[in-house]
Chain A
Amino acid sequence: MKLGVAGTASRALTALTLLFGVAASAPAAATGPAPLEQARHAAEHTAFEGVVEVRWRDGGVTRSERLTVEAAEGALMVRGDNRVMAQPAFGRLISHRGGGWEELWLPSQAPGPRPDGASKYRTTAPGEGPPVAGRPTKVVEIHRNGALLERILLDTQTDLLLARDQFDAQGAVVRSLAFQSVKVGSSTSPPAEPRSPAHHAPRTVALARLASPAAAPEFLADGYQRMGIYRTGAVQHVLYSDGMYDLSVFEQQGRLRQADVPPAGERLVVGAAGGWRYAWPGGQLVVWSTGGRVYTAVSDAPADQVLAAIRSLPAAPGRTLSLLGKVRRACQALMEPLS
């Protein structure tokens, strides 16, 4: 059948639309941060050893540290000034500057399920990446609202994470981790489990046992979902995740004295309270005080996400009186009926 001019134009337009539509969406798969899941699986099932460099931006300064890592049979050992050990089934231990081992997480403590992050992040399909420590890689990028957040280089052969860069809103690298040398499939034996570590793991707390369950909401802004509530001594710890990044909110009774806060922090506002932000090798830390409580948020998420999440915490009760105010109020209350 012979087509008319209008019909031909219409079909051509449809074909072009389909062509460009497919071409535009081809490089990106609409999935969550699956590469990190692959990396997790690889780190737990691959024997490797090597040297990793951690770099992070601290204000106007870029800092870096080199760490030795070795893994086998699901166990991982990180050796720096601190030694950190992950045992299979969630056991986590740490040793400070050659001291004894402390158990910080029990194998029996499994947080709730981690959200998949699929609706929040867009992950590009793997492409060929630059070699890292002499090994070929595949590169994936993680985007949010069109902005590049992370570039991840996975070992082509094993999916082991060989390098990871986190970017700020201006596209500059704020944090990175990269192998300087690595030997995959080595005959490394798993790190021996310490015989009698000091037990400093937190205990899991049920939401119903909290004095104020509203203080640990199930969701925070920007898709952060509560994964667990823990307590160590007087410190309450609520762990949140969006599937890619994690956020810990620690709460203690008391007040924060400006004199006790390290001077290097960046001032910011959290709710109605003033706070301070610091960079640590793994991300951000924010400390603030309100309503007779001191909060410390620790996260590997970008700064804007951390702030959005902690600013969505429910407002603490109004500022409790300072010591002098308490004295004044208590005296007034007791004296009033006598006068």
Chain B
Amino acid sequence: MTNGFTGGDRGFGAPAHLGDALSALLDGELPPPVEQGARAHLAGCPACAGELVAVDQARRWVRSLPLVEPPFGFYERMLLDRAQPTAAAFGARSTLRRRAGLAALGAAAAAVTVLGVGSPSQAPVNPAVPRLIEAHATSASVGADLLSKLAPAGVPVSFGR
């Protein structure tokens, strides 16, 4: 029986693993049948189970980091550095250092970009359900039978939270 996972991002010939789906599983973003398949796979795959723990831990660490504003001119300096041609006179050692520095800058920029800009669109949202219900009831009651559309809003909504 297939569980819907056909290799993830592992090497060729390796048995099917969950790969990037682990992150989606932790986010609760997998459709129910796929989630069921993933959980079935996890039950029989120590490698994926271990990676799930590691991914969860990594997420916790990343999320515990404070947001960092890049210093003024950070991006401009980085782009200027990238724009300058690498002189042939630079020695191999210098090039390596430069690459390492740029790599560090790049990683920092990526982290800043993701944490400071990218994450809001993926930030957890807990819909304000009672407010949404009230918004529905009030808007739907316009031009309709007031009593049956509006009266239910008199009952506070609770789903047992």
> A residues near B, CB below 8 A?
36, 39-40, 43-44, 52, 54, 56, 65, 67, 69, 71, 76, 78-84, 86, 90, 92, 94, 96-97, 104-105, 109-111, 114, 160-161, 164, 177, 202, 228, 230, 232, 235, 237, 239, 241, 246, 248, 250, 252-265, 267, 269, 272-274, 278, 280-283, 285, 287, 289, 292, 294, 296, 298-300, 319-327, 330-331, 333-335, 337-339
Contacts and interface: CB of A to CB of B under 8 A. Distances in A.
B67 interface: no
Nearest to B159: A262
Interface stretch (B10-18, B42-50, B134-142): B134-142
B127 A294 contact: yes
B102 interface: yes
Interface string B148-159: 111111111101
B135 A246 contact: no
Given A282-B153, A323-B114, A260 B146 contact: no
A322 B125 contact: no
A246 B31 contact: no
Interface residues of B, number: 68
Contacts of A230: 135, 139
Contacts of B29: 255-256, 273, 289, 319, 322
Given A40-B146, A330-B113, A82 B32 contact: no
Interface string B18-45: 0010011011111111010000000000
A80 B118 CA distance: 43
B159 to A, nearest CB: 4
A298 B136 contact: yes
A52 B150 CA distance: 12
Contact of B154 (A71, A81, A260, A330): A81
Nearest to B118: A326
A188 B67 CA distance: 58
A257 B28 contact: yes
A177 B146 contact: no
Contact of A105 (B109, B138, B156): B138
Q: SS class of chain B's interface: helix, strand, loop or mixed?
A: helix
Contact of A338 (B30, B59, B102, B141): B102
Interface of B: 20, 23-24, 26-33, 35, 55, 58-59, 62-63, 82, 99, 102-103, 106-107, 109-111, 113-114, 118-127, 129, 132-157, 159-161
B99 A326 contact: no
A269 B35 CA distance: 12
Given A177-B152, A323-B63, 9 more contacts: A40-B143, A80-B154, A90-B142, A104-B135, A161-B145, A239-B140, A248-B139, A321-B122, A323-B62
A322 B127 contact: no
A246 B144 contact: yes
Contact of A298 (B26, B133, B141): B133
A67 B55 contact: no
A43 B145 contact: yes
A44 B146 contact: yes
A292 B137 CA distance: 27
A331 B103 CA distance: 9
Nearest to A278: B159
